[in-house]
Amino acid sequence: MADKHDDPTPNAGESLVTAEPLDASGPAAEAGDRPHDGEGTPTPSHRRRWLMWAAIGLVALVVFLLVLPVFSTLHPNYYRRYPGLGERMDNWAHSTHSKVGCSGCHVDPGARGFLTFAARSIPAFYSQLFQGASSTNLLRAPDREACQKCHTTYRTVAPSGDLRIPHRAHVVVLGMECKTCHKNLVHSPNRRGFNRPEMEDCLTCHDGDTASNECSDCHTDKAAPENHAQKNWPEIHGQMAEKIDCAKCHDWTPDYCENCHKQRPASHTATWKTDHASHAKTRGKGCLVCHDEEFCKECH
């Protein structure tokens, strides 16, 4: 009876069904009698439900806006709209790692790796939306931890057998990243059309100062060709240059030929100034490897 008096709504007494839930005053109370509520004006329960759906909608939107970047930036098609990047994704599709998804390399292992990736990809995605893709908002080159999910560092020779490449020495001892050498692994071929590291990459350190640069330190079967061992090689190498592709080995060292040609050759003895006539007659063209015609004209 007390219920009836306390209830302020006019239709409170309508049924005993309402009395019970109101008494309980829990969430169940809201469920019971909505159809009988006053016309037009939303009740508190009505509003609460609306708010709840609005909140759910908002949360869903936020989740969507957060998840969208994470998935998009890890999808090859996403990059097709940007000049040049589509081609880099096609290279991936034809690479040895075509079966390794983007996250395989671009997300570090573990939950922490994923969160770090998410934290980076979200601002990157929205900045791309407004400013386009730039080198600062693209995926970063993978860390070695990502590669080490699948590869060890125990490798010491290239599959060809020709090349010594102690991985532990460089990765563990020197702390190098895989990408420093394997920068053409997936998204681009190197200058020579392969995905392998190039000798140039090594020579930045292996310059004879920081690290050794003897051919035999790295190559097991790229010794100088036999003709180099001939006694008269210094004299005949110029003629051989017309028959053999010297650049195959020597273009790795810039100015290899030119630097040596700046040295005064043994043929230029003390009396060369007046002796050179006979040489010049037989090997006239050879002189021009080191001299230009202007030089000769100074006296002739």
Measured over the CA atoms of residue 71, residue 75, residue 77 and residue 80, the dihedral's sign is positive
> Smallest Cα–Cα separation from 211: which of 173, 257, 158?
173
Q: Which is nearer to ligand HEC, 18 or 73 (CB)?
A: 73
x-or-dash string of contact with ligand HEC, 248-267, rule CB under 6 A: xxx-x---xx--xxx-xx-x
Residue 296 lies near ligand HEC (rule: CB under 6 A) = yes
Residue 117 lies near ligand HEC (rule: CB under 6 A) = no
- Phi, psi values for residue 163, rounded to 5°: -105, 125
d(CA 133, CA 128): 5
CB neighbours of 267 closer than 8 A, spacing ≥ 6?
Answer: 279
Q: Which residue(s) pair with 157 in the sheet?
A: 164
Q: Which is nearer to ligand HEC, 112 or 281 (CB)?
A: 281
* Helix boundaries (H) for the chain: 2-6, 16-24, 28-32, 44-72, 85-93, 102-106, 110-131, 144-147, 167-168, 178-181, 199-203, 215-218, 233-240, 247-250, 256-261, 272-282, 284-290, 293-297
Residue 68 lies near ligand HEC (rule: CB under 6 A) = no
Interactions with ligand HEC, residue window 149-188 (CB under 6 A):
149-151, 153, 155, 158-160, 163-167, 169-171, 174, 176, 178-183, 185-188
Q: Which is nearer to ligand HEC, 49 or 268 (CB)?
A: 268
Q: Which is nearer to ligand HEC, 23 or 217 (CB)?
A: 217
Residue 219 lies near ligand HEC (rule: CB under 6 A) = yes
Q: Please, what is the minimum distance in Å from the beta carbon of residue 61 to ligand HEC? A: 25
Q: Which is nearer to ligand HEC, 39 or 209 (CB)?
A: 209
Q: Which is nearer to ligand HEC, 70 or 141 (CB)?
A: 141
Q: Please, what is the minimum distance in Å from the beta carbon of residue 104 to ligand HEC? A: 4
If one counts every other C-beta atom within 10 angstroms of the C-beta of residue 184, the result is 21
Residue 92 in 3-state DSSP?
Answer: helix
Q: Which is nearer to ligand HEC, 19 or 287 (CB)?
A: 287
Residue choice 97, 113, 118, 220 for contact with ligand HEC (CB under 6 A): 97
Tell me how many residues contact ligand HEC (CB under 6 A).
114
Q: Please, what is the minimum distance in Å from the beta carbon of residue 119 to ligand HEC? A: 17
Residue 107 lies near ligand HEC (rule: CB under 6 A) = no
Q: Please, what is the minimum distance in Å from the beta carbon of residue 75 to ligand HEC? A: 6
Q: Tokens in use for 29?
A: 């109370």
Q: Which is nearer to ligand HEC, 22 or 290 (CB)?
A: 290
Residue 34 CB-half CA count within 13 A: 11
- 10 Å CB burial of residue 107 (0-12, 13-18, 19+) is buried
Residue 104 lies near ligand HEC (rule: CB under 6 A) = yes
> Smallest Cα–Cα separation from 282: which of 220, 238, 249?
238
Residue 287 lies near ligand HEC (rule: CB under 6 A) = yes
